[in-house]
Copies of this chain bind each other. A is one copy, B any other.
């Protein structure tokens, strides 16, 4: 599944590559539209905006827009392209700001905007991207689209603030983790599905179902991402792994590990989270393997995938449904692929 990546979504391993191959014309339109936005920025910042609006990302959120608003192949709806650009620009703005805070040097094989232009310019550039995203969202007949996007953006920021304030803290519960994931990741997945279904003119019940689907898929995707940070294969995933422990983020794999360690080991690991001790990712991965953490966290991913599927239970005949369910299969396949690598590694 993951080897059939469409050129439009990059050549890296991709949880949703199967379904995405349908979207090549949509993604081409989106690229064209996004490139066309550069001219809307003030002349002095166009080069910088162009640098940030790169086209090598996974484009998961635009895909959710296109799939939730799916009415069959053929012409690509201009409304969906515009709103896909809105959610992607919001996402890109959060990445620009994330990379400042994480002091990241490289994203998608290029220097981050913060490294290229300095942290100060990057803060403002992220702001300008946010502002332009919301400006695009006002180019619909009513305020509904912009209202949904601005509220979502605020929730995404709130999630990232909570995560930031909990970094290096050992007082993180499962409820905290779920809340952070719900806000920082699931919210933009949810609103992408909402906007796609809404703009396609779906009936209110389906818009609500698609939104719930998006939320659960987003939670599943984030837990999968946190699982990969420990169990993934760096060369295959295409990013540095083991960063969560090093940056003091208590994600689900670590919470599960903590629950199963003896008092001494637990105290040492908590010291690694607070930064009092150097992180020992290799030791922690070995312990996770011994204690069956992969299966426990994979089960949490599957539970959310099941909840996403359930949201669409009553809508089997709707055009988007089978495609959205295909995303569930794709993510499930990706978990299985990591498990396969994992089995070989043991």
Q: Which residues of A contact B (CB under 8 A)?
A: 41-42, 44-45, 48, 93-94, 97, 100-101, 117-121, 123-128, 130-132, 134-135, 137-143, 146-147, 150-151, 153-155, 157-162, 164-165, 179, 183
Give bound CA distance, A332 to B101, whole Å: 43
Q: Is the CB of B45 within 8 A of A127?
A: no
Give bound CA distance, A139 to B144, whole Å: 9
5 contacts between A and B (CB under 8 A): A94-B127, A101-B123, A128-B161, A131-B134, A134-B150
For the A-B complex with A127-B130, A138-B147, A138-B150 known, give 6 more contacts whose Cβ atoms are closer than 8 Å. Answer: A45-B161, A97-B127, A128-B158, A130-B131, A132-B150, A134-B150
Q: Is the CB of A162 within 8 A of B101?
A: no
By beta carbon, the residue of chain B nearest A148 is B138
Q: Is the CB of A131 within 8 A of B153?
A: yes
Q: Report how many copies the assembly holds.
A: 2
The minimal Cβ–Cβ distance linking A273 to chain B, given in whole angstroms, is: 17
Query: Knowing A147-B135, A151-B135 touch, does A45 contact B128 (C-beta < 8 A)?
Result: no
- Selected from B127, B132, B146, the residue in CB contact (under 8 A) with A127 is B127
By beta carbon, the residue of chain B nearest A93 is B127
The minimal Cβ–Cβ distance linking A246 to chain B, given in whole angstroms, is: 16
Give bound CA distance, A100 to B101, whole Å: 12
Give bound CA distance, A345 to B84, whole Å: 60
Q: Is the CB of A134 within 8 A of B146?
A: yes
